[in-house]
Amino acid sequence: MPGYEVIGEEEQREINEVFAKGGVLFRHGFEPMRNGCFKVKELETAFAAQMNSKFALGVTSGTAALRVALAALNIGKGDEVITQSFTFVATVEAIIESGATPVCLNIDKTLNLDPKEIENAITPKTKAVIAVHMLGTPARIDQIKQICDKHNLFLIEDTAWGCGGKFKNKPLGSWGDIGAFSFDYAKIITTGEGGMLIFNDEILYKKAHAWHDHGHENNPSVPRWEDTRSSSGFNYRMMELQGAIGLAQLRKLPEIIKAQRKNKELIWDAINDLPEIEKREVPKGSYETADALIFLVKNSNLAKKCREELLKVGVSTKILPEAYTWHFAGSWTHIKQLMKSKKTNSTNDYTKSEQIIRRAVSIPISIHLPKGMPSIVRTCIMNALNE
Ligand SMILES: Cc1ncc(COP(=O)(O)O)c(C=O)c1O
């Protein structure tokens, strides 16, 4: 569960420092007033180091991070971008905002993009794949990267839920050309709203940096109002208070993940012997963020019953089974661009995804596990199974 559980004095201290040093809230300029205080830049440097990447760029949200990533890769009108049919709608919104066409494919039992679906969906217009590490379990990112390399496609990782996770010892987000993170209030670390991109390619980083700031190139030899520019852009700049909170949260990230992983195991240990429960598949080599514990039951009715039993004792589920309408492409009839993509090579038959997610129950994992939680969850699931 999110970093909001551990927001406290450390975040407050970081914010106080911004005000103590002059109260400049803008990430650029105002040097005489800010006494060397650049919280967004400090966060970017620390984040890049923690993610074993050369560069990081703070932005206003995870959605913005995806949009900036697509702009940096020059993806736009006439291009197709492959992603998965189980993700938050933001992944697809960012593709549409860039002018490209989203092509949503089926998931496998990892609840992430099924690599076996990708090659069939590639057309001459395909430019990139956005793989999502949904709810903290890594996608089969090594296989997805191999396919992208073979077909010369860019790979973006939607790491909204994967911050601090790893696959084969490599941080999630650092497998692709660009990793896009969310720091919204429900995420593993939070700045209220906010996001981050990571890169190893300096040219991509510079393009993203300029594009997220109206095209500003931050040319050190001229004042900002005379700055050089070679591309258009927009404003997705992170502000200093977000940077300050992010610094305190980032220092807590390893402990957050450790606690979540431990608590997830405690709950799984309490229920794994129950009949007809199938755990979400976890690719070998994964270091999950353990944001949720997901298991599949026999059918969607039983999944709903599990939720009802949990709600009776004040425990909610997380996204599944109740909120798939926001997280499943088959439900997004309001997105006309998605309907258009039916004309692409993609099968657009989401039956396989639907068969998995409708049977899924997702238990949120908190950093501070309420007392007795594993046995409470067990009793609820048993009640549902016995009904
Ligand atoms: C998979 C995924 N991608 C992108 C986002 C967008 O992040 P934000 O809320 O910071 O815009 C979210 C948010 O929930 C998400 O779950």
pLDDT digits (tens, 9 = 90+) for 145-199: 999 999 999 999 999 999 999 999 999 999 999 999 999 999 999 999 999 999 9
**Residue ending a domain, choose from 194, 225, 251:** 251
The pLDDT, as a whole number, for residue 335 is 86
Among candidate residues 194, 197, 182, 208, the one with its CA nearest the CA of residue 241 = 194
Q: Do 234 and 142 lie in a common domain?
A: yes
Q: How far is the CA of 189 from the centre of ligand 1 (A)?
A: 13
Of all atoms in ligand 1, which is nearest to the CA of residue 158? 3
Among candidate residues 59, 57, 14, 60, the one with its CA nearest the CA of residue 39 = 14
CA distance 234 to 319: 31
**DSSP structure class, residue 170:** E
In the block, residue with structure tokens 């189980």: 86
CA distance 363 to 318: 6
Ranges of H-type helices in the chain? 9-20, 31-34, 39-50, 62-72, 89-97, 118-121, 141-150, 202-211, 240-271, 300-312, 324-327, 336-340, 351-357, 373-386
Active site residue 187: yes
Q: How many separate domains does the chain show? A: 2
Q: How far is the CA of 125 from the centre of ligand 1 (A)?
A: 26
Q: Which domain holds residue 283?
A: 253-386
Kindly state the tokens that stand for 192.
């209220």
From 187, 252, 305, 318, the catalytic residue: 187
Q: How far is the CA of 34 from the centre of ligand 1 (A)?
A: 32
**Cis-peptide into 321, omega within 30 deg:** yes
Q: Do 283 and 191 lie in a common domain?
A: no
Among candidate residues 56, 84, 82, 54, the one with its CA nearest the CA of residue 70 = 82
62 lines ligand 1 (CB under 6 A): yes
Among candidate residues 208, 134, 206, 131, the one with its CA nearest the CA of residue 175 = 131
CA distance 230 to 218: 12
Cβ atoms 128, 99 nearer than 8 A: no
Q: Please spell the DSSP secondary structure of 236-277, one letter per residue.
A: -B--HHHHHHHHHHHHHHHHHHHHHHHHHHHHHHHHTTSTT-
Residue range 103-108: mean pLDDT, rounded: 95
195 lines ligand 1 (CB under 6 A): yes
Q: Do 23 and 33 lie in a common domain?
A: yes
**DSSP structure class, residue 213:** B
Confidence band of 1 (pLDDT split at 50, 70, 90): low
CB-based burial label for 50 (10 Å; 0-12, 13-18, 19+): middle
Confidence band of 3 (pLDDT split at 50, 70, 90): confident
Q: Do 163 and 261 lie in a common domain?
A: no
Q: Do 193 and 293 lie in a common domain?
A: no
Q: How far is the CA of 226 from the centre of ligand 1 (A)?
A: 35
pLDDT, tens only, 128-140: 999 999 999 999 9
Residue 344 scores a pLDDT above 50: no
Which has the minimum average pLDDT: 72-81, 198-207, 264-273, 333-342? 333-342
Q: What is the CATH number of the domain that holds 224?
A: 3.40.640.10
Q: Do 46 and 192 lie in a common domain?
A: yes
Q: Do 196 and 292 lie in a common domain?
A: no
Q: Do 234 and 268 lie in a common domain?
A: no
Higher pLDDT, 170 or 322: 170
Q: Which of 63, 249, 357 to mutate to test the pocket of ligand 1 (most atoms within 8 A of CB)?
A: 63
Cβ atoms 68, 208 nearer than 8 A: yes
Cβ atoms 108, 138 nearer than 8 A: no
132 lines ligand 1 (CB under 6 A): yes
Residue range 64-93: mean pLDDT, rounded: 97
Mean pLDDT score of the chain: 95
**Does pTM surpass 0.95?**
yes
CA distance 64 to 76: 15
CA distance 253 to 303: 31
Give the end-to-end CA distance of the chain in Å, rounded to a whole number: 30
112 lines ligand 1 (CB under 6 A): no
Q: Do 270 and 219 lie in a common domain?
A: no
Q: What is the CATH number of the domain that holds 302?
A: 3.90.1150.10
Neighbours of 187 (CB within 10 A): 25
Question: Between helices 373-386 and 240-271, what is the axis angle to 10°?
Answer: 60
Question: Between helices 89-97 and 62-72, what is the axis angle to 10°?
Answer: 40
Cβ atoms 21, 35 nearer than 8 A: yes
**Residue ending a domain, choose from 251, 279, 302:** 251
Give the residues across from 237 on adjacent strands.
59
63 lines ligand 1 (CB under 6 A): yes
The pLDDT, as a whole number, for residue 345 is 44
Q: Do 264 and 284 lie in a common domain?
A: yes
CA distance 26 to 9: 23
The pLDDT, as a whole number, for residue 106 is 95
What are the C-alpha distances in Å from 14 to residues 10, 21, 184, 193, 256?
6, 11, 18, 17, 19
Among candidate residues 23, 48, 377, the one with its CA nearest the CA of residue 199 = 48
Cβ atoms 65, 123 nearer than 8 A: no
Q: Do 246 and 327 lie in a common domain?
A: no
- Residues in contact with 12: Cβ distance below 8 Å, sequence separation at least 6, in sequence order: none
Q: Do 107 and 209 lie in a common domain?
A: yes
**Residue ending a domain, choose from 251, 270, 294:** 251
Give the residues across from 59 on adjacent strands.
195, 237
